Amino acid sequence: MTKIEHVLFYCAGNTCRSPFAEAYANWLKSTTYKEELKDVEFDSAGIYHYYKTAQPKTVNYLNSKGIDIGDFKTKKIDSQLLEKHDLVLGFEQKHHINKLKRKFKNLKGIDEKVFLLLEYAGEKENLEIEDPFYLPQEEYNIVLERIEKGVIKTLKKIIEINKS
């Protein structure tokens, strides 16, 4: 397998799940996996463009872990962004994976690099991660904790792939 140097997390609006995954992956890169991930870039985008910044509940959760999302600005996924990335990770089969593969079906290699985060991380069941947008903060945090676990497993897998 070829090295993974560009990872894109994406969700519906790039305001809850994907900015969290990007910020958490970058935080792990800067703290735990400095050397192992020095050549890997993480980014995020949304299928739609609803808001300009991450949701306050995402920012609150990141802040509770000592992670600063900085001046994060949302962006919409497009073919250029997809072409740049070696690995593209979504959170829902119907609303993310299937929709993206249909919309960009003519993009070379799309089927080989688009996965559910938890599927890529090696999980076998309960692979979908719901949109926490309307949930109260406590339930919202539970969704983000699932993403955390998936990101950690994914980064470990990327490190192993890049070693070979």
Residue 160's SS3 state is helix
What pTM does this model have?
A: 0.97
Contact 119, 90 (CB under 8 A): no
Q: What pLDDT score does 6 carry?
A: 98
Contact 105, 84 (CB under 8 A): no
* Matching residue, tokens 């897998």: 157
Q: What pLDDT score does 50 carry?
A: 87
Amino acid at 31: T
- Model pLDDT for residues 17-58, shown as the tens digit of each residue: 999 999 999 999 999 999 999 999 999 999 998 899 999 999
Residue 101 has pLDDT above 70, yes or no: yes
Residue 52's SS3 state is coil
Kind and range of the H or E run holding 118: helix 117-120
Q: What pLDDT score does 1 carry?
A: 59
Per-residue pLDDT averaged across 84-94, rounded? 97
- Sequence-ordered list of residues with C-beta below 8 angstroms from that of 50, at least 6 positions apart, any chain: 12, 13, 15, 74
Q: What percent of the chain has pLDDT over 90?
A: 96
According to DSSP, the β-strands at 87-90 and 114-116 are parallel
Backbone angles phi, psi at 6, to 5 degrees: -135, 120
Give the CA diameter of the chain. 43
Domain ranges in the chain are 6-163
CATH class name, domain 6-163: alpha beta
- Model pLDDT for residues 60-88, shown as the tens digit of each residue: 999 999 999 999 999 999 999 999 999 99
